[in-house]
């Protein structure tokens, strides 16, 4: 199974943030590339998750932007000497009662539970999966993965799974899975 580690390991990595991704983050979420990169280079809090060769890094930092300060939450996948940034979010300071103490993974879980769509993985339905393994009988009616989006909202999914066969069964190893409802996030994060 995987491990969760808070030991800093990313300050020397080069963050990979393709131009098209930077533009999308600017246009959809009003995120500045400098803030994302600064959060990765010099985070206030940092976590990492390692599972079967997959290494994910999670970073959190307070951005004192006036008139609306926020926390930047960034996560990505380590690929050799680079960190491929998968997503970044602005989190309002009052999102969590004490955002100074939860780790970036704890903040991400709370964020996904509040702004996420439900996902079914195997026969388990939740808004956030972290470091879970599911075993399906081959030929069973169990679902592999399904996103529940009854209102047809725009969303961003982050799903890191690996599927293998073992003794006639399908094994789904899930490092991280969540699906954020962008419509709910835009309407709620900075208006509530």
Is residue 62 over pLDDT 80?
A: yes
pLDDT band at residue 141 under the 50/70/90 scheme: low
Q: What is the pLDDT of residues 84-113, one digit of tens each?
A: 999 999 988 877 665 556 789 999 999 999
177 bridge partner residues: 129, 159
- Which tokens sit at 128? 């956030």
pLDDT band at residue 7 under the 50/70/90 scheme: very low
Is residue 8 over pLDDT 70?
A: no
Q: What's the confidence (pLDDT) of residue 13?
A: 76
Q: What's the confidence (pLDDT) of residue 88?
A: 93
120 bridge partner residues: 125, 146
pLDDT band at residue 61 under the 50/70/90 scheme: very high
- What is the rounded radius of gyration, in angstroms, for the C-alpha atoms of the chain? 17
């Amino acid at each position: 199974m995987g491990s969760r580690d808070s030991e800093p390991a990313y300050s020397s990595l080069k963050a990979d943030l393709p131009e098209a991704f930077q533009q999308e983050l600017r246009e959809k979420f009003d995120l500045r590339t400098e803030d994302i990169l600064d959060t990765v280079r010099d985070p206030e809090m940092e976590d990492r998750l390692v599972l079967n060769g997959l290494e994910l890094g999670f970073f959190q930092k307070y951005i004192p932007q006036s008139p609306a300060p926020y926390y930047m939450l960034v996560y990505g996948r380590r690929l050799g000497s680079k960190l491929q940034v998968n997503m970044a979010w602005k989190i309002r300071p009052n999102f969590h009662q004490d955002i100074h103490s939860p780790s970036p993974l704890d903040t991400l879980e709370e964020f996904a539970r509040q702004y996420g769509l439900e996902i079914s993985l195997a026969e388990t339905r939740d808004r956030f999966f972290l470091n879970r393994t599911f075993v399906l009988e081959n030929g069973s009616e169990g679902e592999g993965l399904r996103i529940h989006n009854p209102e047809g909202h725009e969303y961003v999914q982050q799903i890191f799974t690996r599927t293998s066969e073992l003794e006639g069964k399908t094994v789904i190893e899930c490092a991280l899975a969540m699906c954020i409802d962008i419509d709910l996030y835009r309407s709620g994060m900075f208006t509530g």
